[in-house]
Structure 1
Amino acid sequence: MIQPATHQIIKTEEAPGAIGAYSQAVQAGDTVYISGQIPLDPATGDLIDGDIEAQIERVFDNIEAVARAAGGTFDHVVKFTIYLTDMDNFGAVNTVMERKLATPYPARAAVGVAALPKGAAVEADAILVLG
């Protein structure tokens, strides 16, 4: 009989709480899967004000907080997926990532989408390997 996978739920107050039926992150072995983060202020749960670069910065701050709660950093990220309602904002994603991450950069995909939760313009998720 196949045993269910063992995993640990990661949760922190330094990032917005889940707004649906999901966890902020799940760790299975040395791998951490961080759920999509939109530019929510963790204290209020509201979308932040500001230009797209500020919103992207908030998304990465939220991911970083969840990574820390799992015992990791951006250095442990192996893959980001970025979701944008306007692909013209792709350059701003690169600007923020260059500022927040060190080389060598992780893998990344950018996906254009019609809409995101709460009317956000950007969302990102991440996969970390801690081992």
Structure 2
Amino acid sequence: MKAFEPINPEGWLRAPGWSHAIAVKTGEVTFVKIAGQVGWDMTTQQLVADDLAAQYEQAIKNICSIVSAAGGEPQDIVELRIYTTNVKEYNERIKEMGQAYQNHIGKHFPTITLVGVTDLFKEEIKVEIEATAVIS
């Protein structure tokens, strides 16, 4: 790996004009900054559903795929920043979000920030998640 390398999981289309993630290697540690992931199935290029929990789970899957492509595992995730257009619904469905999280990341608990926003990049997108991983 170069000192600064874009990460694009196998089977994903290359992002036009940006990177899904950038890995920066410093000594024995690789820092991976992951761009906001949404409920797109990256192999079909389709939104998985018009449902907050389903979009959340797909975004988590996407993050885990990126971390794996960088040579890490979900337990290497140190930060999640979650943007949602409906904080009230997110909180009402927190158990579903927690189950989706545990299905892919397990009982590993990085820092998490939840931010309510008016809009995301497309009207049908209900949640977007940025992440940082540290792989050693």
**TM class, shorter-length:** 0.7 to 0.9
Unaligned regions of 5+ residues in structure 2, if any? none
Query: Paired residue for 2:71?
Result: 71
State the secondary structure of the residue aligned to 1:117: coil
Quote the Cα distance in structure 2 between the aligned partners of 1:129 and 1:57.
21
Assess, with a 3 A threshold, how the Cα gap between structure 1 residues 59 and 16 changes in structure 2: closer, same or farther: farther
Cα displacement (A) at 1:118: 2.1
Query: Paired residue for 2:20?
Result: 24
State the secondary structure of the residue aligned to 2:43: coil
Matched residue type, 2:127: V
Q: Is the 8 A contact 1:15 1:65 kept in 2?
A: no
Quote the Cα distance in structure 1 between the aligned partners of 2:110 and 2:31.
14
Cα displacement (A) at 1:21: 2.9
How many residue pairs get aligned? The number is: 125
When normalised by structure 2's length, the TM-score is 0.81
CA RMSD of aligned residues (A): 1.9
Query: Paired residue for 1:45?
Result: 45
Tell me the alpha carbon deviations over residues 46-104 of structure 1, each in whole angstroms, 9 at most, x when there is no partner. 21225321111111111111111101111000000000000021314334223432334
Q: Is the 8 A contact 1:7 1:27 kept in 2?
A: yes
When normalised by structure 1's length, the TM-score is 0.84
Q: Is the 8 A contact 1:78 1:107 kept in 2?
A: yes
Query: Paired residue for 1:128?
Result: 133
Matched residue type, 1:23: S
Query: Paired residue for 1:116?
Result: 120
Unaligned regions of 5+ residues in structure 1, if any? 1-5
Assess, with a 3 A threshold, how the Cα gap between structure 1 residues 83 and 46 changes in structure 2: closer, same or farther: same
